[in-house]
Amino acid sequence: ELKVEQNPLFLSMQEGKNYTIYCNYSTTSDRLYWYRQDPGKSLESLFVLLSNGAVKQEGRLMASLDTKARLSTLHITAAVHDLSATYFCAGDDKIIFGKGTRLHILP
Amino acid sequence: NAGVMQNPRHLVRRRGQEARLRCSPVKGHSHVYWYRQLPEEGLKFMVYLQKENIIDESGMPKERFSAEFPKEGPSILRIQQVVRGDSAAYFCASSPGGIPLHFGNGTRLTVT
């Protein structure tokens, strides 16, 4: 069964800085997802990555997928406080989730 | 367009009672997924259903838990004889068979 590992699990960073969240998965996965969850809220779909080398960008967030390395990254550029949330990556048809990265951006 | 609707939002049950969680998928979506989330943790897959069929229930506990998605009406996740360890947020998601999943706002179950 697919296993998904994210790191770091907690991240506190200053506004304006760049950082990357890593997502490793254990077996072949047809697709890789990134979601955002605010405290007490549901999950919001951010990106769906379907193929090796896929790169998608939305605002200050950019996601990429390397299927050979079984690695996806979520890069945050010039972070702002509004990006504070928990970010999950997930793979496989059943959507197997990682434990999430709790991102806290300090003003 | 209504999204995935889950009710109730909050549910309190005493140990030994039954909990019934409802999920109405996005109109036209025939695929439903249920997940459980413990505090400070990720979502754990429980079951995947299509209309009238359970496709994958590998994440469901073998006892006390059941799920259905009838031809008409919402999907139901049923937990019999609840225990304290069942306290969690239960999320439902739907899709038309493709991606991405649309998630509901969850049902927060508290067992006292």
CATH code of residue A83: 2.60.40.10
Q: How far is CA A62 from the centre of its chain?
A: 9
Of the candidates B84, B83, B102, B96, the residue with the CA atom closest to the CA atom of residue B35: B102
Residues facing A37 on adjacent strands: A43, A86
Sort out which chain A residues have CB atoms less than 8 A from B100's CB and list them: 33, 45, 48
Is residue B91 over pLDDT 70?
A: yes
Contact criterion met (CB < 8 Å) for B43 and A43: yes
Q: Write the DSSP string, chain A.
A: ---EEEE-SEEEEETT--EEEEEEESS--S-EEEEEE-TTS-EEEEEEE-STT-EEEETTEEEEEETTTTEEEEEE-S--GGG-EEEEEEETTTTEE---EEEEEE-
Q: Which domain holds residue A25?
A: 4-106
Task: Report, as an integer, the average pLDDT of B10-27.
Answer: 97
pLDDT tens by residue, chain A, 107 residues: 788 999 999 999 999 999 999 999 888 777 899 999 998 888 999 999 988 888 999 999 999 999 889 999 999 999 999 999 999 999 876 678 888 999 999 98
Q: Does B43 touch chain A (CB under 8 A)?
A: yes
Higher per-residue confidence, B37 vs B40: B37
Distance from CA of A63 to the nearest CA of B (A): 15
Count of domains in chain A? 1
Those of residues 70-89 in B touching chain A at CB distance below 8 A are none
**Chain B residue with the nearest C-alpha to that of A98:** B42
B33·A95 Cβ contact <8 A: yes
CB B23, CB B31: distance < 8 Å: no
Identify the pLDDT of residue B98: 65
